[in-house]
Amino acid sequence: MQQTKRILVTGGAGFLGSFLCERLLQEKQEVICVDNFFTGRKSNVSHLLENKSFEIVRHDITFPLYVEVDEIYNLACPASPVHYQFDPVQTTKTSVHGAINMLGLAKRVGAKILQASTSEVYGDPEIHPQQESYWGRVNPIGPRSCYDEGKRCAETLFFDYWRQHRLQIKVARIFNTYGPRMRPDDGRVISNFIVQALQNKPITVYGSGQQTRSFCYVDDLIDGLVRLMGTKDEVTGPINLGNPAEFTMLELANLVVELTGSRSAIKYLPLPADDPRQRQPDIGVASRELGWKPKVQLRAGLGKTIAYFEDLLSSGGSHAIA
Ligand code: NAD
Ligand code: UDP
Ligand code: UDP
């Protein structure tokens, strides 16, 4: 019989973290959710509070944390450009000091530790689709650097703790992921487009709308993370997790308008600095090492996400969820 593990999820009250906590509890594990509630919300996990195996701790991981756990999923870090650029110094600290603290914790208690890294480590890529062996093209001094370079440095720390201290590490490079529980004011493209379409407001396409992204539905992504944590010790990653189906932002806008039956028109706004022009994961490694591939197509995933935002907006809009 499998033994119950005690698992720490940092950023556990955020979008991805809350689904991960839910999934781990379904698997009868004990979960400690640590969050400073910068972008996360108690309401994302309030339905888990009655479960005796679940605990929430308000804590900022840039400060040391002493708990006794078997596994750590390190997800704490704002992920939307709007939020990570709000206090860029804190963003870098969260990735770098946060990683050091969580790695120090993992080292002291002998826990296995997974890092939620990102496709942003590839920057504005010259290689397409992106394979894990690609080193990336990242501006070290731009407005996105606090996130991109913070995450790159966190990967460095993970691999140094692995080489130097023989920690069991797992590094996932997550590509754009979406689903219910994203905030209406999250600022990322899927939530922006859906909220705008549902309110018949202009859909804000940045630049020409010809830049591409590849969108993964949250359930698929969580499944990938849990599989990665369960791999044998030799599998450290980095491993890309994402859905290879690639769309331009204009295609996405049109799809959202179609699925919501919206009267919204497209409004073009300037492209933000250093916005990557294309992004698509090569998931060959995930397929080989984890037996994983995403199952939910964009149309189906958008349908579920639209239903979530419809409910949210009809029950009082973004104020209702603050
Ligand atoms: P999110 O903003 O919803 O979640 C991040 C959580 O971390 C929030 O609950 C926030 O309050 C918490 N947090 C932030 N700083 C903290 C700190 N210093 N101490 C403790 N908690 C802190 O974002 P998300 O989309 O759920 O992303 C989760 C993780 O996955 C992030 O590390 C992000 O970089 C990574 N990721 C996400 C995507 C995506 O498309 N969703 C893509 C690539 C990587
Ligand atoms: N740390 C922590 N919890 C622990 C153990 C360590 O938060 O249970 C922090 C500690 O504050 C330290 C960091 O992790 O700053 C790195 O720890 P490590 O043991 O690797 O380095 P050292 O303490 O020798 O600087
Ligand atoms: N984007 C857009 N309109 C919006 C928000 C974003 O056209 O209202 C574009 C953005 O410029 C980028 C893409 O959509 O090219 C994805 O942006 P997001 O912030 O979701 O993720 P990231 O750029 O971090 O991949």
Cβ pair 7, 71 in contact under 8 A: yes
> Where are the domains positioned within the chain?
6-177+216-242+274-295
- If you count DSSP H runs as helices and E runs as strands, how many of each does the chain have, helices first? 9, 13
Compute the distance between CA of residue 285 and CA of residue 238 in angstroms, rounded to an integer. Answer: 9
180-233 tens-digit pLDDT: 999 999 999 999 999 999 999 999 999 999 999 999 999 999 999 999 999 999
Between the CA of 187 and the centroid of ligand 2 the distance, in Å, is 34
- Please say if 147 is a catalytic residue: yes
Q: Which of 73, 147, 161, 178 is catalytic?
A: 147
43-75 tens-digit pLDDT: 999 999 999 999 999 999 999 999 999 999 999
Ligand closest in space to the Cα of 109: 2
Nearest-atom number in ligand 2 for the CA of 101 is: 14
End-to-end CA distance of the chain: 42
Please, how many CA atoms are within 13 Å of residue 241, restricted to the half-sphere of its CB? 30
Among 201, 206, 268, 279, the mutation site with the greatest number of ligand 3 atoms within 8 A of its Cβ is 206
User: What does each C-alpha distance from 227 to 15, 20, 130, 220, 272 come to in angstroms?
Assistant: 19, 12, 21, 11, 35
Between the CA of 158 and the centroid of ligand 2 the distance, in Å, is 14
Q: Mean pLDDT for the chain?
A: 96
For the question of an ipTM over 0.90, the answer is: yes
Asked if CATH classification 1.20.120.1770 holds for the domain at 6-177+216-242+274-295, the reply, yes or no, is no
In which residue are the tokens 């400073």 written?
36
11-50 tens-digit pLDDT: 999 999 999 999 999 999 999 999 999 999 999 999 999 9
Among 82, 182, 188, 193, the mutation site with the greatest number of ligand 3 atoms within 8 A of its Cβ is 188
Residue nearest to atom 7 of ligand 2 (CA): 64
Compute the distance between CA of residue 115 and CA of residue 72 in angstroms, rounded to an integer. Answer: 8
Task: Report the candidate in 212, 222, 290, 209 with the shortest Cα–Cα distance to residue 245.
Answer: 212
For the full predicted model, state whether its pTM sits above 0.90.
yes
Task: Report the candidate in 159, 137, 158 with the shortest Cα–Cα distance to residue 149.
Answer: 137
